[in-house]
Structure 1
Amino acid sequence: MMMMKRLKQPDLRNFLASAALVILTFSGAASVGSQQNPAQWNAQQVELSRAELEQLLIRYEETAASSAYSGTLREQARREAALIRTRLTTGDFQVGDQVAVAVESEANLTGSFVVQPGPSLMLPVIGGISLEGVLRSELQPHLQQEIGRYIRNPVVHAQSSVRLMITGGVGQGGYHVVPTSTVFTDMLMMAGGPAADAILQNIRVERANRVIWEGPALQQAIIEGRTLDQLSIQAGDHVIVPVRGERGGFFRSAIGVATGLGSVVFLISMLSGLFR
């Protein structure tokens, strides 16, 4: 029986990033990436603003409509554009998400709260605060504004978390509640880290049984140290770590080697210069 866990996350991202880099080197993708202008991700900015998402959406839409790219890369661009478009339209919060709130000098408004239908956040004394259309990067200023209707000049701190299923070649598979500011590799460590027979280059993320991240694009994201928010991860997404001997494992590895070159060039071209 799977159990939902919230575990302490050790900072082993450098180890896993190095492992991913070795994988990319053998696939031929890392050498190509080194010849390009790398994407400049702001390590301190763990959640993307609305303006940044809008800019990234334009880049993906332009690529999806361009005949200069292969059908595979254009499809990848359409997939990423769809994820971002949904975030911009409906916001990031879903029923069941957890939000840690701390209001200075207000003990009654400090704690962990679960997102309710609406979506909304029910706070003691104040009542419901709508989260419809709100991005994670907008959560703290949004709460500060809403709480400010009842308390003068509140100082608000907020952190959102989502529940993910992590299965396959990890030490502690099951449901995990993970802050959205968490780096992807740290999320794997929260699940006990990769098993000895895990195929790291074949890690994928699914949503409603459809792949949203996999292959060289995800490997590059791991190397760059991207967070769950930067990957548009949502509650209910399924992180799968294949193991050796799994049916289709060899085929997936072969595909990863064959498509690594074009995918990494595509990813870098989309993100280069976005976060300078």
Structure 2
Amino acid sequence: MRSAIAFAALLLAARSLGGQVPALGLGATRIGLDERAQRLEEVALSPNQSAAAKTAAAQEAAVIRRRLAEGDFKVGDRILLLVEGEPSLSDTFTVGLGSTLILPAVGDVSLVGVLRSELQDYLARRLGQNLRDAVVRARAYVRLSIDGAVARPGFYGVPADALLSDALMAAGGPTPEAQLGKLRIERAGRPIWEGRALQQAIAAGKTIDDAGLIAGDQYVLPRRGRTTPGDVLRFGGFLLTIPVTIYPLTRIF
């Protein structure tokens, strides 16, 4: 039960702060990013700034310019697409090589240079070239692996604006034997978030996007020793009381 109580505390803290989204995070617009890059470039050229400040500004500006050029979508990201009157286009599609979507009756749709904030309008315009009066809704997901002491390990497509804790709950949440203090997030087999830093990020209400997660990143929740049937029943009842957002339709396999 200690793991249940600890996780509840993290969830409550995350819920209280979850609405705070960085200005240049998930919902960043092209105008906002461009304005930010321009200000940074001015700092980088200013004679009144230190060499360190100018270097940092130039590096951040370059990152933003690259984002504007390449867009937000990577191979493995998933997009939920709903097109009224078009069942074959109302499905979840995976971003492939070259940041391309392959859509039935439409063909290849490049997402190079497309920001998440632009996705729905962009796809509506693109599909409008093939479909008359198309009504399009789109939402982007990030493919994550949730492994270890969770109820339903597997790969999940999670909204990029979901809390880090919500991503864990998409897999049914931690089991009674979970060692929450040892939760980590890996990329290519190497930890990118772990220990106190990860616990603080969850408690602070950081989202998938805030944490910089990308398609293919893996949650790993180690197991502790054996548990009793009573532990399982108490833990199951406890999970029913947690007010979280579950994403039951986004499991990939």
Give the deviation of 1:139 after TM superposition.
1.6
Residues 50 and 88, structure 1, Cα contact 8 Å, conserved in 2: no
Residues 145 and 219, structure 2, Cα contact 8 Å, conserved in 1: yes
Consecutive unaligned residues in structure 1, runs of 5 or more: 1-12, 22-37, 67-73, 75-79, 246-276
Give the deviation of 1:157 after TM superposition.
0.7
CA deviation vs aligned residue, 1:202-238 (integer Å, no higher than 9, x gap): 4222212333323444333322333323323211101
Partner of residue 216, structure 2: 236
Residues 41 and 224, structure 1, Cα contact 8 Å, conserved in 2: no
Question: Structure 1 residues 185 and 39, CA, compared in 2 at 3 Å: closer, same or farther?
Answer: closer
CA deviation vs aligned residue, 1:227-270 (integer Å, no higher than 9, x gap): 3233232111011224458xxxxxxxxxxxxxxxxxxxxxxxxx
Give the deviation of 1:16 after TM superposition.
4.1
Q: 2:195 & 2:66 partners in 1: Cα distance? A: 23
Q: 2:9 & 2:204 partners in 1: Cα distance? A: 13
Question: Structure 1 residues 46 and 15, CA, compared in 2 at 3 Å: closer, same or farther?
Answer: farther
Q: 1:103 & 1:87 partners in 2: Cα distance? A: 28
SS at structure 2 position matched to 1:235: coil
Could you tell me which amino acid in structure 1 is paired with residue 71 of structure 2? G
Pick from 66, 69, 90 the counterpart of residue 70 of structure 2: 90
Question: Structure 1 residues 211 and 123, CA, compared in 2 at 3 Å: closer, same or farther?
Answer: same
Q: 1:168 & 1:199 partners in 2: Cα distance? A: 10
Consecutive unaligned residues in structure 2, runs of 5 or more: 1-6, 226-253
5 Å-filtered alignment, 1:146-225, equals 146-225=126-205
Tell whether 2:41 aligns with 1:47: no
Tell whether 2:102 aligns with 1:126: no
Tell whether 2:17 aligns with 1:17: no
Could you tell me which amino acid in structure 1 is paired with residue 165 of structure 2? T
Give the deviation of 1:140 after TM superposition.
1.2
SS at structure 1 position matched to 2:201: helix
Residues 13 and 204, structure 2, Cα contact 8 Å, conserved in 1: no
Give the deviation of 1:50 after TM superposition.
4.6
SS at structure 1 position matched to 2:142: strand
CA deviation vs aligned residue, 1:30-51 (integer Å, no higher than 9, x gap): xxxxxxxx897149x9933156
SS at structure 2 position matched to 1:189: helix
Residues 14 and 205, structure 2, Cα contact 8 Å, conserved in 1: no
Question: Structure 1 residues 227 and 46, CA, compared in 2 at 3 Å: closer, same or farther?
Answer: farther
Q: 2:63 & 2:174 partners in 1: Cα distance? A: 27
Size of the aligned set, in residue pairs, is: 207
Using the size of structure 2 for normalisation, the TM-score is 0.61
Using the size of structure 1 for normalisation, the TM-score is 0.57
Could you tell me which amino acid in structure 2 is paired with residue 49 of structure 1? A
CA RMSD after TM alignment? 4.6
Pick from 91, 94, 103 the counterpart of residue 111 of structure 1: 91
